[in-house]
Chain A
Amino acid sequence: MFAAPLFLLGLAAAAIPLVLHLRRARHVRRITFSHTRFFDEAFIRSARRARIQDRLLMLLRMALICLFATALARPLLSVPGLGGLTGDRRTVAVILDDSASMSVVTERGVLLDRARDAALAALRDLSTTRGDRATLVLAGDRASGAQVLFDPPTTDLDGVRQAIRGTTPTGLATDLDAAVAAGRAALGQASGRRDIVVVSDLQASAFAPGAFEKADPSIGVCFVSVRPTETEGAGNVSIDAIRFGAARPMRAIPYTFRILITNHGTAPVQRAVQFVIGDEILARREETIEPGRSAIVRFVHRFAEPGWFAGRVGFDPAGQDGRDVQPADDERHFVVHVGAPLEVLAINGAPSRIPRHDELFFLRAALAAGEDGVGRPIVDQIAPTELTTELTTERLEKRPVVVLANVADLEPAQVALLERHVDDGGGLLIALGDRADAERYNQWVGDHRLHGGLLPARLGGRVAVESFVASIDSEHPVMAPFADGRLGYLSSVRVRERFDLVLRQGHDPEGVMMRDSDGRPLLVERRFGKGRVLLFATTVDRDWSDFPLQPAFVPTVYRLLTYLAGSGAGRADFAHTGQIVTLATSIHGAAAHRVVCPDGTVLFPEPPSDPSQRGMVVSTTEISGVYRVERVDAAGGSLVQLFCTNTPRRESRLDDADEATLREHVGDSNLVFIDDGTDIGAAMQTARTGRGLWEQLLIVALLVCLIEPWWANRLTARRGNAPKVATQAQSDSREAA
């Protein structure tokens, strides 16, 4: 048995020395010589000996080529029990795929059950008395990397078997690259033979093409596929995604949920989708999905109260028609934070008795547009002269969004108050104007300020050059609807004057939401603790631009302020299982939070591994469901926010790779590929007892490589370095004369 039998074609190259030898032997040159008096019996013996030596040399060269070709073909000696006879100690890393796709139910049972049997079969031939060791690596795509259960590998083989039996499917994706790497690291420099046995359904998305090509060849890798057959894998229907109708639901305003459902099977199916908030089933829709197509089911809900809500959408078993082999993707969770009516505290830097000359005239008008009386935004206005008395902590707690409109400057205490407010999750929009003092604003920036200061960018000089909005960040949740024109276009906005914004060192370039035709930033965002700050380079009235006169002004203002109002709620509502979820935290009391997992376990957020990043991270998110973040206090725990994780969509694609593709992905080197699910034990037996002979063959070939030139040189030297008869004879004869 050979691991790479294609290299056996190289055996044909062994004919080259033979052909050369025969050609040389047949290519007889005939010469006429003056005499044959020295061609006696000894001469004949010498010629015969030379012929034998030449043939032996030819055989040696043929053997050399055969050895190399055979070694490259990686022969496996299949002699049961040979490992025991030779006393080789074995160390095996079993990589078990515990991803969501392993929960597929086929006619032969759950995939993970078959995988467990195969993994146990891989350990069957190991012996504790011989010193064999084993470890178990779970191949789910965890945030912390592949989970190695026994590191270093243990001789407690029963413990490893027990761990295999206790493995259950998770909602994780698969990362075989990381798992094999972890397996190799666990095997380390263990003595004896080292093997990695990968038991998985081998989804193509689980590893990168050619990931194992440059792997350590001294470690044998055996892939055991337990994937469902083509007929078994057919018939899966999955809920792939939930799309929200707006960035944030508001109290009493209808909010749309769009559910994306995909039929991966080969026949039309009918599904009943349930919409659940909390534990209450609020709606049910039936949908027929054509094979290979997706459908969107829409639910609209009006939240009566503000606050956090968790829900889910899933298939109703009662309305199920046709097969569905993958239960892990039949349900998807979501969380939403329902905001109260938008309440804005606006500091008007240029108030006027003439309404249209007032700095906030257009902003107030925009927030009042399309009002139906429900959820009316509240704009609380303060004049600069009242700041000392009116800008208080209590007032800021009631108004999460603050707008500075053409304000000349703030006192340091007022700046500190705003910093604290934003750090705790508030939003701040700074619009500039003719009264803004750039030098005073720039003093808000520096190491002496909280988080380095509020401003996303330093203010440069005023630029009175007409330009227009040239580009927006189409990926930003606020700007995205303007990229495709759903809410109008911003490209028609003309800017006559603005401040030059100088991005701060280390500022994320993606934080620039809007640029003008000169490529200069117009609207810049910065995260600040749990909140966000937006800096607009021009005015919010029509003094410096015609933006307030454009149709896109109203939705832009509304989306910007709504976005700022929801900044403290966290944005990790679309995390997938195994993902590291970052919780935005303020500078105060970050350590006093805990996270209650879907299964009821409690864990505590940790600081991020990168010290430059702020917030706290939750890295144990293997279970799909809703996670509850609580602030630990005397009452036991008050809700701070919710987030949820769902199984990645790629776990729903079960039939994405044939054997040729898999071979291309994993490479042929040192690889035993077993794809017969019906006889895993027998196939594993063959693979396991196959003893790699290539190293021994390469050693022999190396010895032959050393012998061949030595012998060939010796023969050449003996034949070529004959005594120089003529010179010596002539010299002697002259002396004799």
Chain B
Amino acid sequence: MPEPTRYLKPEALARLKNLGLAARLVVEGLFAGQHKSPNRGFSIEFAEHRQYTPGIDPRHIDWKVLARRDKYYVKQYEEQTNLRCLLLLDASASMGYRDGGSMTKLEYACFCAASLAYLMQVQHDAFGLITCRERMEHYMPARQGHGHLRMLLERLESLEPRGRTSLPRALHEVAERLGRRALVVVLADLFSTDEGDGAKALIDALSHLRHRKHEVVVLQMLDPSELTFPFGDATQIEDMETNDVITADAEAVRRHYLESLDAYLGAIRSGCLSRGIGYALADTSEPFDRFLGAYLGRRHRLAMSRSA
């Protein structure tokens, strides 16, 4: 079986490796890593002594102190945690759209997800994958290791765009299911099939994740044609998810479309901003590594400025 590295462009990953992912919040990790945890526990670097109380594992009693002072103390270490990241991917039919870009939105999202996963793996962070359409469909828990990365990439390879989208519903399900705090990266076009799934429903769903103490980053993937609507003359427009057909003079309705899109994106952007959710809009005609590099660099600079 060939190595599933379709979505791992070496030149892209080489560029991303030097940047690092600076998390805004410190989350709990399974393994010691580069990320400091507010929880004191048992690790390598000594922090302080604390008087032993029943219930603490007797393995952590400092026997040297007991010999000198005849008192029970336990050692406390400053624990280092890893990042627990979940990549949430929209695999609905609309993500298969491509007109002006070099690849479909799903392919673009997969490239981004694979790059992020590889980065996590290099940093010894845990990473997982959730795919959704109308509902949450597949859940790959966050783990470390090269084997896990391989499984994730195979999963990405096997994704096909199909079905309708109800991203808010899927996000609610994810929020209910995820137990521990994690960084949730949403890669989607944010276009839902249901009429009621507007910007407000989407923001509510993302807020649900935030409410569960998760860090949320939304990476919206859009094709250039969706951003400019460059069609002319009389056009029959078929919806990729519902197969509904609308006939109109595309040139004549372009203004209306772009105004509506602008309002929709503006609502999402302001909703994310007010709730501390990271947001970025990706144009699939732009190389994904450049997009990711720019975004992660900006996050890193933001984190550094806050810690200073």
**Residues of A near any B CB (own CB < 8 A):** 24-40, 42-44, 46-47, 49-51, 53-54, 718-720, 722-723, 725-726, 728-730, 732-734, 736-737
Contact = CB atoms under 8 A, between A and B. Distances in A.
A737 B292 CA distance: 12
A46 B191 contact: no
B253 A733 contact: no
B166 to A, nearest CB: 13
Given A37-B191, A43-B248, A726-B281, A31 B237 contact: yes
A36 B246 contact: yes
B257 interface: yes
Closest 4 CB pairs of A and B: A50-B252, A726-B227, A34-B97, A38-B260
A32 B281 contact: no
B266 A42 contact: no
Contacts of B265: 725, 729
Interface stretch (B41-49, B123-131, B179-187, B218-226): B218-226
A722 B259 contact: yes
B14 interface: no
Interface string B68-102: 00000000000000000000000000110101000
Interface in B253-289: 253-262, 264-266, 269, 272-273, 278-281, 283
Given A36-B246, A726-B228, A24 B233 contact: yes
A532 to B, nearest CB: 89
A47 B235 CA distance: 11
B240 A34 contact: yes
A50 B265 CA distance: 25
Given A725-B262, A732-B269, A733-B269, A35 B239 contact: yes
A47 B249 CA distance: 6
A733 to B, nearest CB: 5
A46 B256 CA distance: 7
B227 A725 contact: yes
A53 B251 CA distance: 13
A721 to B, nearest CB: 8
Nearest to A36: B239
Interface string B209-246: 00000000000101110111101011111111110101
Nearest to B104: A34
B53 interface: no
B279 A736 contact: yes
A28 B259 CA distance: 24
B247 interface: yes
Interface stretch (B2-10, B15-23, B294-302): B294-302
B221 to A, nearest CB: 10
Nearest to B256: A46
Given A722-B258, A723-B259, A31 B235 contact: yes
Nearest to B217: A737
B32 to A, nearest CB: 29
A731 to B, nearest CB: 9
Nearest to A35: B191
B107 interface: no
A47 B236 CA distance: 12
Given A32-B240, A38-B260, 9 more contacts: A29-B235, A30-B238, A31-B231, A33-B226, A33-B240, A50-B249, A723-B262, A729-B265, A730-B280
A36 B242 contact: yes
B227 A719 contact: no
A730 B236 contact: no
Contact of B222 (A24, A28, A720, A726): A726
B273 A43 contact: no
Contacts of A737: 278-280, 295, 298-299, 302
Given A737-B280, A737-B295, A34 B226 contact: yes
B28 interface: no
A737 B223 CA distance: 21
A734 B238 CA distance: 32
B234 A24 contact: yes
Contact of B256 (A24, A37, A42): A42
B247 A28 contact: yes
Contact of A30 (B99, B223, B235, B257): B235
Nearest to B165: A35
A30 B236 CA distance: 5
Contact of B233 (A29, A32, A43, A47): A29
19 contacts: A26-B234, A28-B235, A33-B239, A35-B94, A35-B189, A35-B239, A35-B240, A36-B246, A37-B264, A38-B261, A42-B260, A47-B248, A50-B248, A50-B252, A54-B249, A722-B257, A723-B262, A732-B266, A733-B280
Indicate the member of A37, A44, A47 with the most B CB atoms within 10 Å. A37
A711 to B, nearest CB: 14
B283 A726 contact: yes
Contact of A733 (B97, B237, B281): B281
Nearest to A716: B251
Contacts of B272: 736
A46 B253 contact: yes
Given A35-B241, A36-B244, A729-B266, A28 B252 contact: no
Given A33-B97, A729-B266, A737-B299, A39 B259 contact: no
A734 B127 CA distance: 25
Contacts of B261: 38, 725
Given A719-B255, A729-B281, A32 B262 contact: no
Contact of A54 (B94, B236, B252, B298): B252
A34 B191 CA distance: 8
Contacts of B249: 47, 50-51, 54
B238 A31 contact: yes
Contacts of B259: 722-723
B261 to A, nearest CB: 5
Contacts of B229: 722
A450 to B, nearest CB: 92
B279 A733 contact: yes
A538 to B, nearest CB: 94
Nearest to A727: B227
B134 to A, nearest CB: 14
